[in-house]
């Protein structure tokens, strides 16, 4: 089995209170929201008639809410609503999500409103993700180390189940009912977040004054502080710690490497147009690919945990980059139809290629999470980890924008794929650019 039994055993002895169920529901929704991805791509391509370059650029813009994810945690911590820090913001994110996707299903018919609503939907998901992460951190602090780890695994599995279920449905529903209905179905998912918000433990902040030291003051004599004052003091203290952390080369050099590693141009959007317009892959088949790719991603994580977890970071980054680049170039066989010459059908080749690339990509990305966790100093682990993930999200935005620029330069359109092979070659070979900077990563052999 892909799921290890150790955390399953620990979960059997856990009392499944309402808050735990609510957390699982929210993470499930975050995974299930992928049901709209194919519908968005086809809606922008077919209903709005946008070019590959325009779609790539728009997809990049809609990622903006994920680049400021730490801000949502700061807002939740520092600006309670009627004394509550979590529930009101979960309800707000639920309302935003319902509004955005219902609008996509009912009346959006122009590129401007499409990008606005998709961005609001992305904001809803990013905000609820940040709040739920905070809930998990709060729960983990009250539990033993092993139980805290099982809670993290439980949350991750809930998200994965949502992603797997939505993967096939995304293509099937789009094929038989159209993009608008998929958007309307998507609008119901944030409603589950709003319902789950009422089950979380979110006691109102006390206004009772207590004695607490100011960690920023030179004279650390006890002071009377309200809970709000404590929050502001904590925010200031975390900001000072973050500023000091990013002055440390051991933190900002690996962060710069991760940015370069993820910011290279992407050819995904142009390739999507090729598979749908040239190879005539229908939505249901693309959903099938996503379904099996989701399972392949789980298999990739298992492979990393089983065989590569102890491999030095520099080594695994080097080899996964080389292997992913070589595997990525196999798309040229499909673009040039060379796969047909060797007797492999377009669909079988695309399915196999996607599964292998997904496994390799997941193995390559797992060290990023491990490295980010190692870089975070004690006391500001959650905030700095969120900032590092935001840097990766910013680099992904840059990747889409660079891909959009190259798609435009090479004249790849919805019907002209003559230069697509050049775009694929550049996108894959550029992924080798970070290799000279491997020395910026920690040397674990020392």
Distance CA 43, CA 59 (A): 12
Q: What is the pLDDT of residue 210?
A: 39
User: What is the rounded end-to-end Cα distance, in angstroms, of the chain?
Assistant: 35
Q: What is the pLDDT of residue 4?
A: 42
> Any alpha helices (H) in 178-267, and if so which ranges?
179-197, 227-245, 249-262
18-32 and 145-177 helices cross at what angle (nearest 10)? 40
Q: What is the pLDDT of residue 11?
A: 46
Q: How many CB atoms lie within 10 A of CB 366?
A: 19
The tens place of each residue's pLDDT in the chain, 446 residues long, gives: 344 444 444 444 444 578 888 888 998 999 899 999 999 999 999 999 999 999 988 888 888 898 888 788 778 776 778 878 788 999 999 999 999 999 999 999 999 999 999 999 999 999 998 888 777 766 655 554 444 445 656 677 788 888 888 988 999 999 999 999 999 999 999 999 999 999 887 777 654 333 444 444 444 444 445 555 655 665 665 666 666 666 667 777 888 888 888 899 989 899 999 999 999 899 999 899 889 888 888 888 788 878 877 778 788 888 888 888 888 888 899 988 888 888 889 888 888 878 888 887 777 777 776 666 666 665 555 566 677 778 888 898 899 899 999 999 999 998 899 999 999 999 999 999 999 988 888 776 55
Q: What is the pLDDT of residue 140?
A: 59
Query: For tokens 């020392």, what's the residue?
Result: 446
> Any alpha helices (H) in 246-377, and if so which ranges?
249-262, 268-273, 283-303, 313-328, 331-335, 338-341, 346-375
**CATH level 3 topology of 1-205:** Growth Hormone; Chain: A; (1.20.1250)
Distance CA 44, CA 179 (A): 10
At the fourth CATH level, which superfamily is domain 248-446? MFS general substrate transporter like domains (1.20.1250.20)
Phi, psi of 225 (to 5 degrees): -130, 135
Q: What is the pTM of this model?
A: 0.81
Query: For tokens 């939740």, what's the residue?
Result: 76
SS3 category, 215: coil
332-348 per-position pLDDT tens digit = 999 888 888 888 898 88
Question: Are both 1-205 and 248-446 of the same fold?
Answer: yes
Check the CA dihedral 224-227-228-234 and report its sign: positive
Distance CA 64, CA 124 (A): 12
Q: Where are the domains of the chain?
A: 1-205, 248-446
Strand partners, 223: 212
Residue 9, C-beta contacts closer than 8 angstroms, at least 6 positions apart:
none
The alpha carbon torsion through 73, 75, 79, 85 (nearest 10 deg) reads -30
The angle subtended at Cα 74 by Cα 68 and Cα 77, nearest 5°, is: 150
Q: What is the pLDDT of residue 19?
A: 81
86-105 per-position pLDDT tens digit = 889 999 999 999 999 999 99
Question: Of 224, 231, 228, nearest to 209 (Cα)?
Answer: 224
């Amino acid at each position: 089995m892909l799921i290890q039994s150790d955390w399953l055993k620990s979960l059997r002895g856990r009392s499944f209170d309402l808050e735990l169920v609510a957390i699982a529901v929210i993470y499930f929704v975050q995974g299930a929201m992928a049901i709209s991805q194919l519908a968005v791509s086809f809606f922008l391509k077919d209903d709005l008639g946008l070019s590959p370059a325009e779609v790539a650029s728009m997809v990049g813009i809609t990622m903006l809410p994920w680049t400021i994810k730490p801000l949502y945690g700061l807002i939740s911590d520092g600006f309670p609503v009627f004394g509550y820090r979590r529930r009101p913001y979960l309800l707000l994110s639920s309302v935003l999500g319902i509004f955005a996707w219902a609008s996509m299903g009912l009346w959006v018919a122009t590129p401007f409103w499409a990008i606005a609503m998709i961005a609001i939907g992305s904001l809803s998901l990013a905000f609820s993700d940040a709040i739920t992460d905070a809930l998990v951190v709060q729960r983990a602090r009250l539990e033993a180390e092993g139980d805290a780890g099982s809670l993290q695994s439980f949350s991750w599995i809930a998200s994965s189940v949502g992603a797997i279920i939505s993967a096939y449905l995304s293509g099937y529903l789009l094929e038989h009912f159209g993009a608008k209905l998929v958007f309307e179905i998507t609008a119901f998912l944030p409603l589950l977040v709003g319902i789950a918000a009422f089950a979380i433990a979110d006691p109102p902040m006390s206004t009772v004054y207590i004695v607490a030291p100011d960690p920023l003051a030179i004279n650390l004599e006890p002071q009377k502080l309200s809970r709000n004052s404590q929050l502001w003091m904590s925010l200031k203290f975390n900001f000072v710690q973050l500023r000091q952390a990013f002055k440390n080369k051991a933190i900002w050099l690996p962060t710069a490497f991760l940015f370069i590693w993820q910011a290279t141009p992407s050819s995904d959007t142009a390739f999507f147009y090729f598979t749908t317009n040239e190879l005539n892959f229908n939505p249901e088949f693309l959903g099938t690919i996503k379904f099996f790719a989701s399972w392949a991603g789980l298999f990739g994580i298992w492979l990393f945990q089983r065989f590569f977890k102890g491999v030095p970071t520099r080594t695994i980054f080097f080899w996964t980059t080389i292997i992913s680049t070589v595997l990525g170039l196999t798309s040229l066989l499909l673009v040039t139809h060379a796969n047909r010459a060797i007797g492999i059908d377009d669909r079988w080749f695309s399915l196999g290629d996607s599964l292998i690339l997904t496994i390799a990509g997941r193995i390559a990305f797992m060290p990023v999470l491990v490295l980010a966790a190692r870089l975070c100093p004690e006391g500001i682990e959650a905030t700095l980890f969120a900032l590092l993930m935001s840097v990766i999200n910013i680099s992904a935005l840059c990747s889409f924008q660079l891909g959009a620029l190259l798609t435009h330069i090479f004249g790849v359109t919805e019907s002209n794929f003559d230069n697509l092979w050049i775009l694929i070659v550049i996108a894959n070979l550029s992924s080798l650019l970070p290799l000279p900077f491997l020395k910026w990563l920690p040397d674990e052999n020392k």
